[in-house]
Structure 1
């Protein structure tokens, strides 16, 4: 057996070798770094987020299969907030990026659908030539490409690491603090400008134009259509504005030199709440775009009659009344 002095020297040499191999000068700080305690904030998130994630998941299942496909990862996040990340590094990257791909694509597709309705109502004659399947495919491809590019940050930066006392966490790590702060600011301003401000302006302009066009016609149900348009714009604004205001405040706070822990914790609380409200809009918006439309109602009646023949007489009478009224009022087939 080696003498104690030799064992100590060997151990010291081994530690020096480890330090030299893992040393990264970008992590060295020449000043004191103030760390904000996040125990209360994380405890709040672990209690508040899971019910919302499960609820949004079930609501998406009932409301729209596409939305369900897009935000399939919510059960992963619900399990994560209840305990720790147990799904590995690969799923950490995939679920994180898929979450934001779904988040971004949902708002872009809803904006695209609004623009399509604007063309169909306000520019009906010219839109009849341009609204072809090829344009729809190209537009959808552009939406997916933009959403994927905007979500690459999560695919690169997200990783799993052990963070006592929380256990395994799926968070941004592996790069210098300056690099992660820079790309975090980019994502904040990207979210606010590209995925909120621009869609909000487009949705508002399109629906105001649609409303003015409807009011200028003799459409019998124009009051109902205008009310529905108002509900869509109001819901969009109420659900998305708080989250994006918090995003903007996060960007301002992150770019400041002095970071107050109380302000940071307050923004974290607000982020938990407003992000779930924004998620909720992606689940309830298909109701406005499908279930309230006359074409969807007509197809839904046919399915019910096919599956439940006992309802044939009642639904056929209802459909006849709808068709009779629509023949008397031009543009009543318009779906808001």
Structure 2
């Protein structure tokens, strides 16, 4: 996505007055209007859960919600830059782009660890119990530290440049095609090629193993985790496929394919923001799985009177 947002760092910005830009701005505005209050409500719900001693799974969900909210709160800036000039200076261009990348990598790590953590907690509870609170804190802190480090290249590549339309834009600047391809390969590998097999493996193992569980609420929370993972990939796979198309087009020098992929970047980029907007509705659909536990019970294993 190159329309000033910074997740797809390889495509060109559309003319601000074009129907495509107006449509993209409208979609992003809708994501802001629905996603910001939705994610705030989710964070409130999850924080209440954690105060009552909820499990580690809601903590990961809370990190995912914070990541989504970080992205959505910046949308008015990007929408304005789509319709007008980038008037916020180089420093904000770099900082805000870095925040978007940071939230992107943290979302990917949260979703990946959700699958791994849920598998271990449900099917190997004793191993998970050995981690204790310090291990849980280390996982959450590690997600944010690692995602921050993985996002550092955006601080170097982001520039304020004048586009063909004569307007200022906050976009990635590449010295040559090699840098562009290298960046795309890095993002596709870290954000898709590496975590996707991990997610598929633990999803299959979890799906097979959870059916043997005797606890209804274990099923409910597991189903919620699976919905979050599947929703994430539903909205992100088109983006990564488009990036792969861009890589191929640059490597073989196919101008028409390159133009096609660059035109598709705005569409696939918008889908990634829709994912941040949709997550609260996924939580709402499974709200019963997040109901506060009764005092003195294990929230994941004892309340079997309702839900689904």
TM-score class, shorter-chain normalisation, is 0.7 to 0.9
Alignment deviations for residues 226-267 of structure 1 (CA, whole Å, 9 cap, x no partner): 8656644543332121110111111121223x341x322211
Change (3 A) 1:113 1:335: farther
Distance 2:96 2:124 in 1: 40
Distance 2:17 2:249 in 1: 19
Distance 1:296 1:59 in 2: 21
Aligned to 2:69: 68
Change (3 A) 1:114 1:332: farther
How do 1:11-50 and structure 2 match up within 5 A? Answer: 43-50=18-25
- In the alignment, does 2:199 pair up with 1:203? yes
Distance 2:200 2:216 in 1: 24
Aligned to 2:80: 79
Q: In the alignment, is the contact (CA less than 8 A) between 1:71 and 1:99 conserved in 2?
A: no
> Bigger radius of gyration, 1 or 2?
1
Distance 2:118 2:264 in 1: 34
Q: For residue 201 of structure 1, report the CA deviation from its aligned partner.
A: 2.1
Change (3 A) 1:330 1:212: farther
**What SS is found at the alignment partner of 1:166?**
coil
Q: For residue 85 of structure 1, report the CA deviation from its aligned partner.
A: 0.7
TM-score, L = length of structure 2 = 0.73
Q: In the alignment, is the contact (CA less than 8 A) between 2:36 and 2:72 conserved in 1?
A: no
Q: In the alignment, is the contact (CA less than 8 A) between 2:115 and 2:225 conserved in 1?
A: no
Q: For residue 109 of structure 1, report the CA deviation from its aligned partner.
A: 1.2
- In the alignment, does 2:259 pair up with 1:271? no
Deviates more, 1:55-64 or 1:119-128: 55-64
Q: For residue 276 of structure 1, report the CA deviation from its aligned partner.
A: 1.4
Change (3 A) 1:253 1:48: same
Between the two proteins, the alignment pairs up a number of residues equal to: 269
Change (3 A) 1:225 1:283: same
RMSD, aligned α-carbons? 3.6
Q: In the alignment, is the contact (CA less than 8 A) between 2:221 and 2:289 conserved in 1?
A: no
Write 1 or 2 for the structure with the bigger share of helix: 1
Q: In the alignment, is the contact (CA less than 8 A) between 1:211 and 1:229 conserved in 2?
A: no
Change (3 A) 1:150 1:255: farther
TM-score, L = length of structure 1 = 0.68
Q: For residue 124 of structure 1, report the CA deviation from its aligned partner.
A: 0.9
Alignment deviations for residues 286-328 of structure 1 (CA, whole Å, 9 cap, x no partner): 54457625463337xxxxxxxxxxxxxxxxxxx9xxx9xx99x
**What SS is found at the alignment partner of 2:86?**
coil
Distance 1:218 1:39 in 2: 54
Aligned to 1:193: 189
Q: For residue 273 of structure 1, report the CA deviation from its aligned partner.
A: 0.9
**What SS is found at the alignment partner of 2:107?**
helix
How do 1:312-327 and structure 2 match up within 5 A? Answer: none
Aligned to 1:149: 149
Gaps of 5+ in 1: 1-36, 300-318
Q: In the alignment, is the contact (CA less than 8 A) between 1:239 and 1:277 conserved in 2?
A: yes
- In the alignment, does 2:249 pair up with 1:253? yes
How do 1:1-336 and structure 2 match up within 5 A? Answer: 43-65=18-40, 66=66, 67-130=68-131, 132-173=132-173, 177-178=175-176, 181-219=177-215, 231-256=227-252, 258-260=253-255, 262-288=256-282, 292-294=286-288, 296-298=290-292, 332=304
Gaps of 5+ in 2: 1-11, 41-65
Q: In the alignment, is the contact (CA less than 8 A) between 2:217 and 2:289 conserved in 1?
A: no
**What SS is found at the alignment partner of 1:298?**
coil
